[in-house]
Amino acid sequence: MEALHHHQSAIDCNNMGLAHWNSGEGLGAIEFLFTAYRHCLKSFSFLVGSDNGEARKANFSVNEAMESCLKAVGEKQELANNVFHTGIRVPSSPEVRSNPSDANKTMVLYAVVFNLAVAHHLVAKWGNIEMPSAMQENFQRTAIEFYQMGLQMQQEISSCGMYTIAILNNLAHLYSTLGDAEKSAFYFSEMLSRIAALEEAIVGEYDAHASKLQQIASSAAAAA
C-alpha cells in the first residue's frame, strides 16, 4: 500500500505541477514537481512486481507522450526559441495509476525529472518574476542537473526517442545561454546524431515491413 500511495502521489503532484505551469505559476509548478520527485524516490523503497515480462513492461511511454504533445501543439510552437517547453503529463488511467510496478514507477520518474528540468529552465528564461542574475544562473544550473539525470536514466528507455532528443536540444540551448559554446556544440551534435539514428531506424522498420508484405503477396500469387 505504501508503494501505491507514493506512486499515485507522484502522478498527482506531477500533473498538478504542469497545471500550475500552464497557469503561469512557475515557482508553484516547481514546488509540486519537487514533491512528486520525493514521492518517486520513496516509491522505489517498495519493490513491486515479479520477474515476468508484464511486470517489467510499463503501461505508458514518455517518448510516446512527448510525440503526442508535438502532434497536439505543433512542432513550431513546441520548439519556441529552440526549447522543448511542454512537460510530460502522466496518464491517470487505471493501468498506470493503480499499478505501481517498477516499470511504471520508472516512467513516472522519467517524466518528473524532465518536468523539473524544464520548469527550472523556463523560470530562468521566461519567468514573470524579477530575479538577480546569480539566482537566474542557479535555476539554469539546476535545470542542467536534472537534464543530465534524465540522460543518465534514458538508457532504461527501449530506444532513443523524443525524450533524449528534447534533453539534448535543451542542454545545447542552456549552455549557449551560459556562454559555453563548446558544450553547446557538443550537445547539439549529439542531438543531430540521435535524430539521424532515429530516422535510420524508422526507415529500417519500414523496409522490413514492406519486404514482409511483398513476401505475403508473392506467396498469395504463387498459391493462386
Residue 37 within a domain:
yes
When divided into structural domains, the chain yields a total of: 1
Residue 199 within a domain:
no
pLDDT of residue 52: 42
Residue 223 within a domain:
no
Q: Calculate what percentage of the chain has a pLDDT beyond 70.
A: 69
- In this prediction, residue 139 has a pLDDT band, given cuts at 50, 70 and 90, of very high
Cell 520548439 belongs to which residue? Answer: 79
Summarised one tens digit per residue, pLDDT across range 144-183 is: 999 999 988 876 555 557 888 889 999 999 999 899 999 9
Residue 165 within a domain:
no
- In this prediction, residue 45 has a pLDDT band, given cuts at 50, 70 and 90, of confident
Domain span at residue 37 reads: 2-159
Residue 119 within a domain:
yes
pTM higher than 0.85, yes or no?
Answer: no
For 110-149, give the DSSP string: HHHHHHHHHHHHHHHHH-SS---HHHHHHHHHHHHHHHHH
Which has more confidence, 214 or 22? Answer: 22
Residue 118 within a domain:
yes
pLDDT of residue 223: 53
Q: Mean pLDDT for the chain?
A: 78
Residue 115 within a domain:
yes
Residue 50 within a domain:
yes
Summarised one tens digit per residue, pLDDT across range 81-130 is: 577 888 899 988 888 899 888 888 888 999 999 999 999 998 888 765 67
Q: Are 170 and 118 a contacting pair, CB within 8 Å?
A: yes
